[in-house]
Chain A
Amino acid sequence: MPEKPLAGSRLSRRTWLAAVLILVVIPATIVFGIVVLDDRKYYFISLLIVLYTMIPFALVFEKRKPQARELIVIAVLAAIAVAGRSAFFMLPQFKPVVAIVIIAGVSFGAEAGFLVGATAGFVSNFFFGQGPWTPWQMFCFGIIGFLAGILFQKGLLKKTKLSLCVFGGLSTFFVYGGIINAGSVTMFSSEFSWKTLAASYVSGFWFDIVHASATVLFLFVLARPMLEKLDRIKTKYGLIEPGGK
């Protein structure tokens, strides 16, 4: 199996692309929103920005021509997350997706974490219904997986239950809840004000608490056995360690 390109060049290409998007395309979109669309289309503009943030990941992944094994491991993890979400569908916000995304990020690296999260968000909505919330969910799940991978690589996140649970709870509450609630403000009231934002955070509080505790619970139960299984598969079939170490 050919080796992956070095982590350094991959990261720099993504950073370069992300920089172009952040510095050129996103401000251009915001200006377009203010000038052409009369500054009233937060919802549409924010949707575009969320989509932009996912483009570098997609482009870099496609450019790399990933191997079948790599593709399929990502697909399996995303499928487990989707199946898990549908298994608990009757309990609102009680979903294991974030837990599995974090495990994927820790085990297979930041990029795989992002892809598992974004794919799980996208595909699970084929079962639950697509809507304007899909890109937001994809982005939130993805970015949590990405963060998990980065923090693990930097040594800030350990493979221990405590460390994973703390990260899982905090990231679900602040990253997922923080972004999704802001997103729903742009969806429900096209008029942005700090008051609506605050109202959205207050009304979302209990949902986020349930979601965060579900993540902690799932990580507590699943983290060790899942990580062991993934490590075993990696050793048995010689899958490459994250970041091409």
Chain B
Amino acid sequence: MKDRFSSFHPIVNFVYFAAVLLFGMVFMHPILQTASLASALLYSIMLNGKKAVTFNVLYMLPLLLVTAVLNPLFNHAGVTILFYLKNGNPITLESIAYGVSAACMFVTVIIWFSCYNAVMTSDKFIYLFGKIMPALSLIFSMVLRFVPRYIAQLKVISNAQKCIGRDVSQGSILARARNGMTILSIMTTWALENAIETADSMKSRGYGLPGRTSFSLFRFDNRDKLVFLLMLGLIAVILTGAVLGENTMRFFPSIKVPDKSLLSFTVYMAYLGLGLLPVIINVLEEVKWKRIESRM
């Protein structure tokens, strides 16, 4: 399935991820954390399919368990003592709850980052930051381009060296290592010379002169406007909740969750809505597409 959220304007993508990552790191409240974890999981599976499932089960689940167990071993605060360790330190219910909560938070943030990696491609990042820090984003984009280029060039050099019997696959182990070093050395010299040529070429094509346009073109159209405003509205509701103390709970010395009210319910719904925003967009677009298709 194609991800439609990626086709929105980069600023929409970026603000969305900035918000979910920030809120994911700050809010420690069981309902909000579950909402965030569930939406992160759902979206990551939607984006990366099977790969995301294996990633989540193989890496994230053990990480979650280890982090959850680690906290009560080092943290002995809390009033509800469950039992004592051999060295006399108490294990408390509060520290276990806190460990689970912190572990959840950490795993949620990592899963959000895996979604971020899929959606915020480097050209979007450069489009957004090219205006604020042009020199640094140019460096980023050049490095991203150079890496595959160097790997390709390395193959060219290695093939040329193979013709004269000086490849890493030829000779004794010592000779192989020496050949490898020679190839890297040739590579470095080429990279540096090539870089200066590129720089001169950039200069002669007017790098740094005013009035230049950027390569990627993104239009901020009505669809973007709608989603952006919706997103800002949800963020405003969540922030109101944060200011009123609805979004966190107390762990120490004893567990205390803020009382449920109409307001807290609204905040939970807004948080879930924000987390699921890309999933909802994807589903809606898919339904729309199916309907158009069936009419043809």
Contact = CB atoms under 8 A, between A and B. Distances in A.
B114 A129 contact: yes
A69 B192 contact: no
B114 A233 contact: no
B102 A191 contact: yes
A234 B276 CA distance: 53
A196 interface: yes
Nearest to A63: B135
A119 B70 contact: no
Interface stretch (B156-164, B198-206, B215-223): B198-206
B195 A83 contact: no
A230 B192 contact: yes
Interface string B139-175: 1101110110011000000000000000000000000
A71 B199 contact: yes
B136 A58 contact: yes
Nearest to B139: A75
A54 to B, nearest CB: 10
B122 A126 contact: yes
Contacts of B139: 71, 74-75, 78, 115, 119
B135 A44 contact: no
B143 A82 contact: yes
Interface residues of A, number: 54
B contacts with A: majority SS: helix
A193 B109 CA distance: 22
B203 A123 contact: no
Interface string A46-75: 010000000000100110011111011111
Nearest to A234: B192
Interface in B179-220: 181, 185, 188-189, 191-193, 195-196, 198-200, 202-203, 207-208
A127 B147 contact: yes
Interface string B98-117: 11001001100110011011
Interface residues of B, number: 55
Contacts of A38: 248, 250
Q: Which has the most chain B C-beta neighbours within 10 Å: A67, A75, A193?
A: A75
A108 B140 CA distance: 18
B264 interface: no
Q: Which has the most chain A C-beta neighbours within 10 Å: B25, B193, B251?
A: B25
A75 B150 CA distance: 12
A68 B203 contact: yes
A226 B203 contact: no
Interface in A130-150: 130-132
B56 interface: no
B105 A65 contact: no
B6 interface: no
A79 B150 contact: yes
A22 B122 CA distance: 31
Contacts of A61: 135-136
A-B pairs with lowest CB-CB distance, top 5 = A79-B146, A75-B142, A68-B199, A69-B199, A72-B199
Interface of B: 22, 25-26, 28, 67, 70-71, 74-75, 77, 98-99, 102, 105-106, 109-110, 113-114, 116-117, 122, 133-136, 138-140, 142-144, 146-147, 150-151, 181, 185, 188-189, 191-193, 195-196, 198-200, 202-203, 207-208, 248, 250-251
Given A193-B75, A229-B188, A233-B196, 16 more contacts: A61-B136, A66-B135, A67-B208, A75-B142, A76-B195, A79-B143, A83-B146, A123-B140, A123-B144, A129-B113, A130-B113, A132-B110, A189-B74, A189-B102, A191-B74, A196-B70
